[in-house]
Amino acid sequence: MVVERELVRLLPLARQTGPDADPVLRDKLARAWIGLEAMRAHALRTLAPGAPGPDRAATGPEAAPAAASVLKLLWSRWRQELGELAMEVRGAPSMVARGEPYDLDDWQRLFLFSRADTIYGGSSEIQRNIIAERALGLPRQARP
C-alpha cells in the first residue's frame, strides 16, 4: 500500500529527530499503524466474496459504493492525521519552507495536500450520506 510507505518513511525520521522517546508521540505512531491495519482489514474484507460485515447490509450494486465510501473515509482521515503527525515529528523546522517560492519537502506537502483528500473523490459528507442511505438503509436526506 502506498500509504504504508509514507508511514514506514516517517518511523526512521521519528527515531532520528528524537521525538520517538516521547510517550505521547509514540502512542500517536502506534495509532497510525493501527489505523493502517484497520484500512487493510476493511479492504480485504470488502474484496472477499460473500464476506459478512456491517458494510454488507446492502446487496448487489448497492454494497460496493458503501464499502468504497467507508474505505475513502478511513483513508482520507488517516492521511490527514499522518500529515499532522509528520509535522509534529519534524517539530519547528516543519513550519518553514526550504526556499523560495514555497519549496516544500515531502512531509509539508503531505500535510497541506492531505486536506484535499477529504474533498476529491467525493467529500467526506457525501461519503457519509452514501453509507447512511445505501449501507444502513436510512432515508434520503431532504434536499431543497
- Whether residue 3 is predicted with pLDDT greater than 90 in this model: the reply is no
Report the largest interatomic distance among the alpha carbons of the chain, rounded to a whole angstrom: 54
> Is 101 within a domain?
yes
Q: What are the tens digits of pLDDT across the range 41-96?
A: 888 887 776 654 444 444 444 456 678 888 888 888 999 999 999 999 988 878 88
Nearest in space to 108 (alpha carbons), one of 88, 87, 92? 87
**Residue 52 resides in a domain:** yes
- Contact assessment for residue 37 and residue 7, using Cβ atoms and an 8 Å cutoff: no
CATH code, domain with 24: 1.20.140.10
Residue 141 maps to a domain? no
Q: What per-residue confidence (pLDDT) applies to 64?
A: 65
What pLDDT is recorded for position 55? 45
At residue 101, the pLDDT reads: 75
What is the grid cell recorded at 110? Answer: 503531505
Q: Which helix (H) or strand (E) holds 47?
A: helix 23-47
Please state the domain count of the chain: 1
Per-residue model confidence (pLDDT) at position 56: 46
Residue 6: give the domain boundaries: 2-135
Answer whether 90's CB lies under 8 Å from 13's CB. yes
Mean pLDDT score, 113-121: 82
What is the pLDDT, as a whole number, of residue 28? 92
Q: Is residue 54 part of a domain?
A: yes
Which cell is 144 given?
A: 431543497
Residue 33 reports pLDDT greater than 90: yes
34 pLDDT more than 90: yes
In a domain, 82, yes or no: yes
Please indicate, yes or no, if residue 144 is contained in any of the structural domains: no
Q: What is the pTM of this model?
A: 0.74
Residue 105 lies in a domain: yes
Is residue 131 assigned to a domain? Answer: yes
